[in-house]
Amino acid sequence: MELAEFREPDQPGFTRRTFSEPYQRSRAWVKELMEAAGLQVRTDPTGNLIGELQGEAPELSQIAVGSHTDTVAGGGRFDGMVGVIGAIEVARLIRQGGQRLRHPLLVADFLGEEPNRFGLSCLGSRAVAGQLSQGHLLRPDESGETLISALLERGSRPADLSEGLWQPERLHCYLELHIEQGSRLQRAGIALGVVTAIAGIHRAVITVSGRPDHAGTTAMNERRDALAGAAEVVLLVERLAREQGEGGSGVGTVGRLEVSPGASNVVPGEARAWAEFRSIEPAWVQDRHLALEAVVAELAARRDLGVSIDWVSAEPPVACSEGVRQAIQEALEGLGQPSLELPSGASHDAAHVAHLCPMGMIFIPSRDGRSHCPEEWTEPEEVALGVAALLATVLRLDRRDTV
Ligand SMILES: [Zn+2]
């Protein structure tokens, strides 16, 4: 709740976006919290806050635990935050209990997990995993500013990114506690979820080009209305996403539409739709990708419109590692807590760190499945259970030589 006080005053909800001033200030607060928990804190070249608790055997590989503290516009108080504050609490509890881990413990507050104005999500976790490319850094926002200049302005050192790379051989495993952002746990009446996999996402910008004309004088059969075509695209994405077997978890959305010239008395000359498909089944997403291209080509011909699809990203699904899942299950059994295995439809920093080491995630409930809104809520008792589960899992994995 204290962290949620850092918010952008001119935005709804609990907004704290990556390059905002409140986010910058909030991270000084997170840093202090890390230090108070006994962590040695550094800010890496990307701008990730990393706290370290030394282990008994410094030569052993590290157990990393983390999440993010930025929000979407109009966001809530739990998405990401429970993972960072929860990881700090785990470190604090270990020290307070006079315990010492064998492995070093890393607590990470990854920079900017939510999609930013440069159209990129998971900045910090991409960077440690070596997946923040030069192309990403040169991406412009709508004003023409590049990601690299925004990073420089906020004290990051993009030229030294290689120094911030995490080395797979130095990592034991990665764990992330997160809110579910869906309602499966609540419906099952279970407080703790063991994540099986993180959905892959294919995103496209579909540009529909027609011809702008006077809306009063151009007859219906003379029009090449780009927005009417884009409206069909929206429904096609919905139809394609509904085509799946019983129990399928695939989804498809058009979340943004831009119309130009954008006047009530002009037939739209161009429309752009931002579409995405997500699933933990790689074949399904790939299949939707191809199906969309086919139906859109048919639509273009039928309506005499130009349609181009630019696939801006294609992230494959990421499975959580068997070893970490098993450790989480055992930890929950040890706590006498029932659990539910479930996939994550949302992407997370964990999906990037998974390229480096065994990864696992623990979910706690989101009331009514609400997230990315001010109503986002998880009961304090459920947060506490999540932290207890995270701690128990860390202690279990610490005793293992390999995950
Ligand atoms: Zn999140």
Residue 236 C-alpha to ligand 1 middle, in angstroms? 29
Give residue-wise pLDDT tens across range 68-95. Answer: 999 999 999 999 999 999 999 999 999 9
Residue 154 C-alpha to ligand 1 middle, in angstroms? 21
pLDDT, mean of residues 186-199: 97
**pLDDT over threshold 90, residue 138:** yes
The mean pLDDT value of the chain amounts to 96
pLDDT, mean of residues 178-182: 97
Does the bond joining 115 to the residue before it have cis omega, within 30 degrees of 0? no
Nearest to 3, CA basis, from 20, 15, 18: 15
**pLDDT over threshold 90, residue 247:** no
Q: Report the SS3 class of residue 225.
A: coil
pLDDT of the residue at 248: 84
pLDDT of the residue at 333: 97
Residue 270 C-alpha to ligand 1 middle, in angstroms? 34
Residue 218 C-alpha to ligand 1 middle, in angstroms? 48
Instruction: Please report the beta strands in 90-214, taking only residues with DSSP state E, as ranges in sequence order.
Output: 105-110, 171-179, 192-198, 200-209, 213-214
**pLDDT over threshold 90, residue 58:** no
Between helices 226-242 and 282-303, what is the axis angle to 10°? Answer: 150
pLDDT, mean of residues 356-383: 98
Residue 258 C-alpha to ligand 1 middle, in angstroms? 27
pLDDT, mean of residues 255-280: 96
Residue 303 C-alpha to ligand 1 middle, in angstroms? 40
Residue 81 C-alpha to ligand 1 middle, in angstroms? 8
Residue 242 C-alpha to ligand 1 middle, in angstroms? 26
Q: 249 pLDDT band (50/70/90 cuts)?
A: confident
Residue 178 C-alpha to ligand 1 middle, in angstroms? 7
**pLDDT over threshold 90, residue 314:** no
pLDDT, mean of residues 87-104: 96
Residue 291 C-alpha to ligand 1 middle, in angstroms? 30
The rounded distance, in Å, linking the Cα atoms of 208 and 220 is: 18
By the CB criterion, residues less than 5 angstroms from ion ligand 1 are: 79-80
pLDDT of the residue at 119: 84
Q: 245 pLDDT band (50/70/90 cuts)?
A: confident
Sorted by where each starts, the structural domains of the chain and their CATH numbers stand as 3-199+317-399 (3.40.630.10), 203-315 (3.30.70.360)
Residue 79 C-alpha to ligand 1 middle, in angstroms? 5
Residue 286 C-alpha to ligand 1 middle, in angstroms? 25
Residue 298 C-alpha to ligand 1 middle, in angstroms? 38
H-helix segments, 304-379? 322-334, 349-353
Sign of CA dihedral 122, 127, 132, 136: positive
Nearest to 88, CA basis, from 129, 142, 39: 39
**pLDDT over threshold 90, residue 392:** yes
Residue 351 C-alpha to ligand 1 middle, in angstroms? 11
Nearest to 209, CA basis, from 311, 305, 310: 305
**pLDDT over threshold 90, residue 49:** yes
Residue 260 C-alpha to ligand 1 middle, in angstroms? 33
Residue 259 C-alpha to ligand 1 middle, in angstroms? 30
